[in-house]
Structure formats: C-alpha cells, structure tokens
C-alpha cells in the first residue's frame, strides 16, 4: 500500500538561486526501510522536510508538483496534522527537547494537540517502552548522554503514533557505539512495529543490512533508487559522496578475482560475507 508519494516535485528556497529538489518522483509503501544518501547539501534534508509539510508551510519558496502523505496533500494540511502521519527527528537532539524532564518532553506534542490526559499517559508509557528508556522518565535532559537524548527525541515523536518516521542524520553527533544502539532501536521500530522509516545518514555500514531500499540523491535529483544490493553491485557510488562499506569493496574485488561465475551475491555486512566465504570453503 502506498503511504507516501511525490509527483514531479521541484523546490527552490526563497532567496536561493538553484533548485534544491528537481523532478522527484517517489512512491513509498508501508513498512519500507529507506536510506537517503548523497553528499552533504545534496537535498536529502530538503526532501525529508517535504514529507511532513515543513515545506511549503515553514520554509518559503517555490514548489512545483505535489506530495501526498497517507493520502493527504501536504499543501493543504499544516505540519501539526501531517506530523501525526510522518514524524520527524532532527540531527541535534538538544534542539528537539524543550521540557525539563523526559516524561514531559514525550508528552509535549500530545499536550499541544489537546489529547485527554489518560490517553497522553498511555501513549507516553508506550513510547518510552518501545524506545527502551522507561528508566529515564524523571531525568532532566541535562543528565542524558547524546544517544539517550536522541532516543527521547524519537520517543517524543513516536508518541504521536506516526506511520512514517523521518530521520535527518540522527546519529551524526553520536559516537559509533551509541550510534549502533540507536540504529538497532530504529530497526526494531521497523521490524516489530511496522513503522515506515526514511532515514538520511552517512553511516551506511551500520544501516545497509536492514534497508529495503537505497535512494541516492545528487544535486536535488534522485539518481539511483532501488534495492541496496543491486545498486552497490552495479554502481560506484563514491562519486555521489556515498561511502561503500569495506565489506562491499572486499566482495566486489573478490568477484573480480574469482570470476563472475563465482555467484557470491552482494553481502552488505561482515556476517553475510563471512557466511558466503564459509559456504564456498566447505562446499
């Protein structure tokens, strides 16, 4: 089922001289896990902001084409309505937490929507639980590590019960270990709770094994869109500012050495490559 679609979408920020998005056509089905990749400034963030109505409602500019989120045309609905369908988490966790306790932060959006207290309580409990941060409930944001803050930021959006979660480089300020933990949680949201994920990230090595789809954007245009294995098998994505994980490089080279008939497939993680090599070894 299509949950998100754009049709011939163009966008130019007011005051900007170039189009930030060019002719974007996209259809997303429910339950997908999509990575948006590309060099800094390629348009990934801009595209994400089209999915929850920040564009065109918050950012001024020229927009051509349309975006529909769960059937709602983003031009006709304000961000606070669209955010209940497509919730957005930003890069810097500090700038997304407004309250003085974790619980209050997770309740914040619901309070703004005038949701009855009992339901707020229920949703807050749920969001804290699925993010695995119940024990942080009464903590102040100042006491949290970067990774914990980002989990709170995600919980505060999940409380809105969106079908789609938009994440704009959520791990960029985290160290690798915290990043891995956050990504694991995001994967669980997708696999266990069927939340559709669209994530802009540079850390492809951690994400690729879980992604159903990779979209590479260059200069505002979608240049590659498809299964991550196929894309990485056939294309050199470095020129788009996307780093190919080392295992993919090893596998590509291995195929060259062993010949095309080797039938290695395209492993996206260390485990997959080890498995392939093991099978060949003991064939």
Site residues (CB under 8 A) for other proteins, limited to 141-160 = 141-142, 145-146, 156-157, 160
Least separation in angstroms between CB 234 and other proteins: 18
Q: Are 106 and 128 in contact (CB under 8 A)?
A: yes
Shortest distance, CB of residue 233 to other proteins, whole angstroms?
15
- 163 touches 30 (CB < 8 A): yes
Query: Rounded distance, CA 37 to CA 204, Å?
Result: 8
Judged by beta carbon, residue 7 or residue 187, the one nearer other proteins is 187
How many angstroms separate the Cα of 169 from the Cα of each of 35, 105, 200, 272? 10, 21, 5, 26
Q: For other proteins, which is the closer residue by CB, 234 or 246?
A: 246
Q: Taking the C-alpha atoms of 82, 87, 92 and 96 in order, what is their torsion angle to the nearest 10 degrees?
A: 70
Residue 54 sits in the site that holds other proteins (CB under 8 A): yes
| Beta strand ranges found along 40-195 (DSSP E) | 61-69, 72-73, 86-89, 164-168
CB-CB contact of 55 with 46 (8 Å):
yes
Q: Which is nearer to other proteins, 25 or 41 (CB)?
A: 41
Q: How far is the CB of 240 from other proteins (least distance, A)?
A: 9
Q: Which 179-238 residues touch other proteins, going by CB under 8 A? A: 180, 202, 205, 238
Q: Which CB atom, from 53 or from 222, has the smaller least distance to other proteins?
A: 53
Of the pair 7, 233, the CB lying nearest other proteins is at 233
Answer yes or no whether residue 122 interacts with other proteins by CB under 8 A: no
Contact 67, 50 (CB under 8 A): yes
- Which range in 5-13, 60-68, 220-228, 246-254 contacts other proteins by CB under 8 A? 246-254
Distance CA 157, CA 151 (A): 10
CA distance 166 to 169: 10
Q: Is 101 left (phi over 0), alpha (psi -120 to 50) or beta?
A: beta
* Interaction between residue 28 and other proteins (CB under 8 A): no
* Torsion sign (Cα): 163, 205, 211, 240: positive
Q: CB of residue 75 vs other proteins: minimum separation in angstroms? A: 16
Using an 8 Å Cβ cutoff, are 154 and 165 in contact? yes
Size of the site for other proteins (CB under 8 A): 84
279 binds other proteins (CB under 8 A): no
Alpha carbon distance 223, 217 (integer Å): 6
Q: Shortest gap between Cβ of 8 and other proteins (angstroms)? A: 26
**Cβ-based nearer residue to other proteins, 8 or 145:** 145
The verdict on 41 binding other proteins (CB under 8 A) reads yes
Site for other proteins in 3-22 (CB under 8 A): none
User: Binding to other proteins (CB under 8 A): which residues in 81-120?
Assistant: 83-84, 87-88, 90-92, 94-101, 103-104, 107-117, 120
């Amino acid at each position: 089922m299509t949950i998100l679609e754009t049709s011939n979408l163009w966008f130019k920020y007011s005051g900007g001289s170039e189009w930030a998005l060019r002719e974007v056509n996209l259809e997303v089905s429910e339950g997908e896990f999509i990575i948006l990749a590309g060099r800094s400034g390629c348009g990934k963030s801009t595209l994400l902001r089209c999915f929850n109505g920040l564009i065109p409602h918050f950012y001024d500019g020229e927009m051509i084409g349309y975006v529909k989120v769960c059937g709602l045309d983003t031009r006709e609905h304000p961000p606070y309505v669209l955010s209940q369908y497509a919730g957005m988490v930003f890069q810097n966790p500090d700038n997304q937490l407004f309250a003085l306790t974790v619980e209050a932060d997770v309740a914040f959006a619901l309070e703004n929507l005038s949701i009855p207290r009992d339901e707020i309580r229920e949703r807050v409990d749920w969001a804290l639980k699925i993010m695995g941060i119940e024990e942080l409930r009464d903590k102040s944001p100042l006491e949290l590590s970067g990774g914990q803050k980002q989990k709170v930021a995600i919980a505060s959006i999940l409380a809105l019960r969106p079908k789609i979660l938009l994440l704009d480089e959520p791990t960029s300020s985290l160290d690798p270990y915290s990043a891995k933990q956050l990504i694991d949680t995001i994967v669980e949201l997708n696999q266990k709770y069927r939340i559709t994920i669209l994530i802009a990230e540079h850390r492809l090595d951690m994400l690729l094994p879980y992604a159903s789809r990779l979209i590479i954007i260059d200069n505002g245009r979608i240049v590659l869109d498809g299964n991550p294995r196929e894309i990485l098998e056939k294309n050199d994505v470095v020129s788009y500012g996307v780093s190919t994980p080392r295992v993919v490089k090893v596998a590509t080279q291995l195929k060259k050495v062993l010949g095309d008939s080797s039938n290695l497939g395209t492993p996206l993680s260390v485990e997959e490559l080890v498995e392939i090599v093991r099978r060949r070894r003991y064939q």
